[in-house]
Amino acid sequence: MSRAYPIAAAIAALLGSALFAAPASARSLEAIKASGTIAVCAHPNSLPFASKDGRIHGFQVDLAEALARQLGVTLTRDWIISRYDLYRAHCDIVMDSIDDAEAQADSGLEPSKPYRSSGVALAIRADEKIRSLDDIGKGRVAVLTSSIAAMTLNQRGIDTIPGLFEDELLDMLAKHEADAAAVTPTSAGYYNLRHPDAKVRLLYVFDKQPDLSWNVAVGMRQPDPELRQAIDAALTHLLADGTVKRVFARYGVEVLPPK
């Protein structure tokens, strides 16, 4: 079964598993060093992932900046809107790529070592006493339309309310239109940052379901061994000195270790 990732995490899924035949030649570490820059593909309007405008750039751009510094180069952004834009893109890396052989089978991207885990969790209001899916009872869960989470919950006999975006699901939860919401921890963390008076907490009830739990890494376009080693070494340093946690913390997102 192929994965169906949440729409609110569209940029991660888009770049992690999009099908494309890269027209631009993959660059070696030597070529990147010689040019003095490494290019990242990101969406121009998809906070907390990335943003082209304003003071807030998104954690994908912030982490890519830190990665570039470790490599001794500057960062260039290649803004894309849809997966088809990757046909003309000239980026070297894609942040938050899904670290999964099936997801990357036709992408042309090879993942680095993973630097965090993600997936789908159950968001509930902070004052709710729900502890598991069994506690939902006759309640309803807001889910993304036609998602694996929706199918999983329906198979358990749990009523669901469909929505198109994770922010929409979390708003349903805040307005008591739903008793829980199936969302990524990324979306929930950013929601809590922006809505301190309506915070949600998470139950990781899907962790044992592979289609709803995954690791993320730096996607590299056909890297040579030297580039792979350099990026893995840079990530090791950024994880060890707390940079990765600090970057995500700016957006209210907790870094969960890779599974």
Considering the four listed CATH numbers 3.30.70.580, 3.10.180.10, 3.40.190.10, 3.40.462.40, the one that applies to the domain covering 7-117+215-249 is 3.40.190.10
Q: How far is CA 34 from CA 7, 38, 71, 74, 234, in A?
A: 38, 10, 12, 12, 18
Q: Which run of H or E residues covers position 32?
A: helix 29-35
Q: According to the model, what pLDDT value does residue 89 have?
A: 84
Task: Decide: helix, strand or coil at residue 103.
Answer: helix
Q: According to the model, what pLDDT value does residue 5 have?
A: 40
Q: According to the model, what pLDDT value does residue 75 have?
A: 98
What's the CATH number for 121-205?
3.40.190.10
Q: Where are the domains of the chain?
A: 7-117+215-249, 121-205
Q: According to the model, what pLDDT value does residue 38 have?
A: 98
Token pair, residue 236, equals: 């090791």
Mean pLDDT, contiguous 10-residue spans, the chain (259 residues): 38 40 71 97 95 93 98 96 77 92 74 96 94 92 97 95 97 96 97 95 93 94 94 98 98 95
7-117+215-249 and 121-205 share one CATH topology?
yes
